[in-house]
Amino acid sequence: MSQKSLWSFYGRRRELEQLQRILQRRRWFFLQISGRRRIGKTALIQEALRTAGISRTLYIQIPDSDPAGVVAACNSYLQMFGIDERVSSLGELAALIGRLASMGYVVALDEFQYFHRKQLLDFCSLLQAEVDRISARASELTGGLIVLGSLHAEMTALLEDRDAPLFNRTTDTLALGHLDIGSVLEMLRIHADDDPTRLLFLWSLFEGVPKFYRDAFEQGVLGSDRRALLSRLFFSSSSPLKNEADNWFLRELRGRYDMVLQHLAKHPGCTNAEIEAAMGDVSGPGEARQVGGYLKILSERYGMIERRLPILSPAKARSGRYYITDNFLRAWLSALRRPVSAVAFRPVDGLIQQADERLAEVEGAALEDLAGQLYEERSRRGLGDFPLSERINGYWDRADVEIDLVAINEEERRIRFGTCKRNADRLIGSVDGLIYSTDRFLKSHPRFKGWKTEFVGIAPHIDSEVAAKLLSRNLIPESLAEMIKDL
């Protein structure tokens, strides 16, 4: 462990190779990159340009502002990058981008989705004219335009809708998701340690968002104990993450959207009817009738929630349950928001303890997702004893029969059912419930008749005594420590 090691670029090997191939073509390109905020879009571009030796670049982060504000921000970036030109309108900005790209520059426009705002929408038509002019000479030119965005629905409206001015103009697209667990482990092994309890704690907070791990590193707490990390990142006057959720997730949401998210954070896996009932209790039946619209916007526009179906259910099944998709947002709403907001009025140590205790509850659900993702990553790399043929999902039905992990190996006709507990001592007590739920599952899915059925118990650490008890009940003990050691 060495906090003195310099922070580097981690993971993203596949995406970096794709971007390098685009740059190596040495001809005009128009690349769309999408992904949630802080996911590492800008860092990926910087790394690709650095390794390709491209120095003629311009990066502009578009503000959520009116045309005058966008022009002012652009002029500041032009000065920062040493480009001796200034613009006074969106039209001049589009023309400048065209000239720079024709000269071999790579121009990156971040937060491009703000051009979906009504007062900025004309820019896309102006940019279309420049893109069309350059594309006609694509083989002669070596420059490129990269547009980056964090709101998928609005990026789609700008670039993929048939009526949009820039429809069918991009030459390449790249979608960035979270770093995989192997990349998170790489960061931890260099700058802290890969103890499974640390991995679970940090993953339930930060998932695969590299910026958050770097914040912890720069504050000197990536390898510290839980409460020291929470204190430095969330509860100090200069904490880098205390306003993160409000600034980057919630600032565009008002009223009922926030209430729906709060409810889902406290009650993950709610059905539409349960959310309607909760909103009705707070605001009356009229508000409950609007829940479907709130869920649609939170899901399709912002990507903050998702609807999960029981495993093997048809896509149009009505038995879906809703979950917050982002670990950081879920942890913030369910464990951190209220303690952090009370810093000015309550003793900080007590607030940190309260947040830590609530986060321990969040980790219980996060462990199920982490275990499923580990199964996927290990199978993809050819590791372990269970190659997957289908994506892992938790199973449940209308009678509230739940199984934390279901893994399917079609070729070998094997199916594996798992129970996940943050405390390994609780695995033994969950065996009977797992067997009962498995029986229900197999009766309702005759496809698996005659398959080999296996059971696993998963926890961060499993000592030899607990492992022996699990084996005596025909459960395979699987600790996170063993699952991550060869990633």
Domain boundaries, the chain: 13-175, 365-484
- Rounded CA-CA distance 277/92 in Å is 53
DSSP state of 112: G
What does the pLDDT look like over 368-422, one tens digit per residue? 999 999 999 999 999 999 999 987 777 777 666 789 999 999 999 999 999 999 9
Query: Nearest CA to 144 among 97, 85, 74?
Result: 97
CA distances from 374 to 147, 167, 184 (A): 32, 38, 12
- Burial of residue 113, with CB atoms counted within 10 A of its CB: 0-12 exposed, 13-18 middle, 19 or more buried: buried
Q: Are strands 414-420 and 452-459 parallel, antiparallel or unpaired?
A: parallel
What does the pLDDT look like over 179-234, one tens digit per residue? 999 999 999 999 999 999 999 999 999 999 999 999 999 999 999 999 999 999 99
Confidence class for position 1, pLDDT limits 50, 70, 90: very low
What does the pLDDT look like over 23-57, one tens digit per residue? 999 899 999 999 988 999 999 999 999 999 999 99
Specify whether the CB–CB gap between 359 and 203 falls below 8 A.
no
Q: Give the right CATH number for 13-175 from 3.65.10.10, 3.40.640.10, 3.40.50.300, 3.40.50.10190.
A: 3.40.50.300
The pTM of this model reads 0.91
Query: What are the tokens at 405?
Result: 């992990």
What does the pLDDT look like over 136-181, one tens digit per residue? 999 999 999 999 998 877 898 999 999 999 999 999 999 999 999 9
Q: Which residue bears the tokens 């998928």?
A: 152
- Report the 3 state secondary structure along 6-21: CCCCCCCHHHHHHHHH
Strand partners, 322: 270, 307
Q: How many CB atoms lie within 10 A of CB 144?
A: 24
Confidence class for position 255, pLDDT limits 50, 70, 90: low
Q: Look at residue 483 and tell me whether its pLDDT is greater than 70.
A: yes
Query: Nearest CA to 483 among 376, 404, 360?
Result: 376
- Burial of residue 85, with CB atoms counted within 10 A of its CB: 0-12 exposed, 13-18 middle, 19 or more buried: exposed
For the structural domain made of 365-484, what CATH number should be given? 3.40.1350
Rg over CA atoms, the chain: 25
